[in-house]
Chains A and B, each alone.
Chain A
Amino acid sequence: MAAKTHSPDRRDFLKKAVATGALYTAGGLPMLSEIAEASGYATPSGPIVVNVTLLGGPDMRHLLPPAYTSSTSSYGYNFWRARARAFGIGSSPAAWQRRWNDRYYQRGSGASRFGILKSAPWLRDMWDDGNVAIVNNVIGSTSRDHEHSIMVMDQGNRKTGPNDLIRSGWGGRLAQALDANVVSVSHTPRPFCYGAHPSGDITRIDTKSLVGADDTRSFSLYKAQTSGSQAQWDDRGMLARTLRSYYGGLKKDIDPDSIYAEFVEMESKVRKFGRQIDQRLRSVSEPARFRTLQHWEKSPMRHPGFGLQARNLHDALACSDILNMRVGSMEMGAWDSHEGQAEMIEPNFKDLFGNNMAFDTLWQNLPGKIRKRVVFCFQGEFGRQLMANGENGTDHGRANSVILIGQKVNGGIYGDMFPEGEIARLNRPSADIQGLTTIDHVYGALCDWAQPGTGDIVFPNRDSSRVEAGVRLDRLFA
Chain B
Amino acid sequence: MIAIVAGLTFSVAANAAEKFKINKVSTTKHGRNYGTGPKIDYLKVKFTGTGDDLLLHAQSYDIDSTGEVTIELNGDLIGTLPTTADNGKSEGTLWLLPAGMQKTGSNSIKFTRVGGDRTWGVTKLGMFEPGSSKTAFGYLKAIKGDIKHPRSVRIYTPLNGDQAHIGIKFFDVDTSNEVRVSISGQSAGSPAITGNNRFGNASYYSIPSNGGWIEFTNALVTGSPLAWGVKITDTDRAYGAVSVGGFRRLSSSEWDEAAVRRVLHTFAWGGHPRHTTITAWANMPPEVAIVQMLNFKHHNSLLSRPHAQDRDGLSNQPNTLASIRSYLSRSSQVPWSERFLFRDDWAMGMALATSTNLRGLNPFRNRIGIWETNYHMATNLNAGVEDPQMERYYDTVMKSLEKNEPYQKTMAAAAASAAIAKQYAHHESRYYPDEDFCECNEDFAREYYQLFFGILGEYNPEYHETTVVKNMARVLTGIEVVWNNSLQREPTVPRFVSDYHYRGDLDLLPGSVSFDRGNAKYRLQDISDVAINHPESLKNLPVKIIAGLADDNMTDAKASVIRNAWASMSEKNLLDFIRAYAISDTFHNATRVKYWNSFDRTMIFNNAFYFTNREVFTSTWQVNRYDDEGFKLFEPKHNVFGGQRGPEAARSTDVFRNVYNGSSEDLWRFTRTREYHSGLFWEKNWASVIPKKNGRHKVKDVGEFLWNRFIGDGLKNFGPVERAHVYALLGSRFDLMQGVDPSSLNRIISMADMETDANLVNYVNKLSRQELNLTSSSRSIRDNANVKVGRAVAFISATPFALAQEGL
Contact = CB atoms under 8 A, between A and B. Distances in A.
Interface stretch (B39-47, B137-145, B515-523, B648-656): B648-656
Interface stretch (B196-204, B432-440, B679-687): B432-440
Contacts of B663: 239, 243
B750 A143 contact: no
Interface in B532-555: 540, 543-544, 547, 552-555
B725 to A, nearest CB: 5
- Which among A163, A210, A259 has the greatest number of chain B C-beta atoms within 10 A? A259
A244 B736 CA distance: 12
Interface in A378-420: 389-391, 393, 395-396
A389 B441 contact: yes
B750 A252 contact: yes
A429 B466 contact: yes
Contact of A391 (B440, B456, B544, B593): B440
Nearest to A240: B664
B421 interface: no
A221 B721 CA distance: 21
B429 interface: yes
Nearest to B802: A263
A187 B654 contact: yes
B67 interface: no
B656 A165 contact: no
A195 to B, nearest CB: 11
Interface residues of B, number: 87
Contact of A241 (B559, B735, B804): B735
Interface string B28-62: 00000000000000000000000000000000000
B746 A244 contact: yes
Most buried by B among A146, A188, A393: A188
A334 B450 CA distance: 19
Contacts of A244: 746, 748
Contact of A222 (B441, B458, B651, B665): B665
A252 B751 contact: yes
Contacts of A166: 552-554, 647
A189 B439 CA distance: 38
B638 interface: yes
Contacts of A193: 651
A372 interface: no
A338 B424 contact: yes
A239 B469 contact: no
Interface string A105-143: 000000000000000000000000000000000000011
A250 interface: yes
Interface string B443-479: 1001000100010111001000110011000000000
A245 interface: yes
A264 interface: yes
Contact of B465 (A56, A144, A148): A144
A293 interface: no
Given A145-B456, A250-B800, A253-B721, A430 B555 contact: no
A297 interface: no
A429 B749 CA distance: 66
B798 interface: yes
Given A232-B742, A241-B737, A333-B638, A262 B665 contact: no
- Tell me which of B429, B553, B661 has the highest count of chain A C-beta atoms within 10 A of its own C-beta: B661
Given A145-B456, A166-B553, A430-B465, A253 B661 contact: no
B749 A391 contact: no
Given A222-B665, A236-B664, A245 B749 contact: yes
Contacts of B746: 241, 244-245
A401 B764 CA distance: 63
Contacts of A243: 660, 663-664, 795, 798
Interface string A334-371: 10101100000000000000000000000000000000
B652 A187 contact: yes
A210 to B, nearest CB: 6
B547 to A, nearest CB: 7
B804 A260 contact: yes
A337 to B, nearest CB: 9
Contacts of B664: 222, 236-237, 239-240, 243
A270 interface: yes
B660 A222 contact: yes
Contact of A260 (B647, B721, B801): B801
B800 A395 contact: no
Given A236-B667, A389-B440, A259 B653 contact: no
Contacts of A210: 651
B791 interface: yes
A215 interface: yes
B16 interface: no
B470 A430 contact: yes
B761 to A, nearest CB: 14
A163 B559 contact: yes
A269 B339 CA distance: 42
Interface string B694-716: 00000000000000000000000
B667 A235 contact: yes
A267 interface: yes
A56 B638 CA distance: 10
A242 B665 contact: no
Contacts of A252: 748, 750-752
A390 B440 contact: yes
Contacts of A211: 653
A212 interface: yes
Contacts of B454: 162
B729 interface: yes
A391 B656 contact: no
Contacts of B621: none
A142 B442 CA distance: 17
A259 B441 contact: no
Contacts of A266: 651, 653, 656
Interface string A206-238: 010011111100110110000000011001111
A188 B667 contact: no
Given A145-B456, A232-B734, A245-B736, A391 B428 contact: yes
* Residue with the greatest number of chain B CB neighbours at <10 A, chosen from A238, A242, A396: A242
A148 B536 CA distance: 14
A212 B559 CA distance: 31
5 contacts: A55-B638, A188-B648, A245-B735, A245-B749, A249-B751
Interface of A: 55-56, 142-148, 162-163, 165-166, 187-189, 193-194, 203, 207, 210-215, 218-219, 221-222, 231-232, 235-246, 248-250, 252-253, 259-260, 262-264, 266-267, 269-270, 333-334, 336, 338-339, 389-391, 393, 395-396, 429-430
- Pick the 3 closest A-B CB pairs, nearest first: A212-B653, A248-B748, A249-B750
Given A239-B735, A391-B440, 7 more contacts: A162-B456, A166-B554, A221-B657, A239-B667, A252-B748, A267-B656, A333-B638
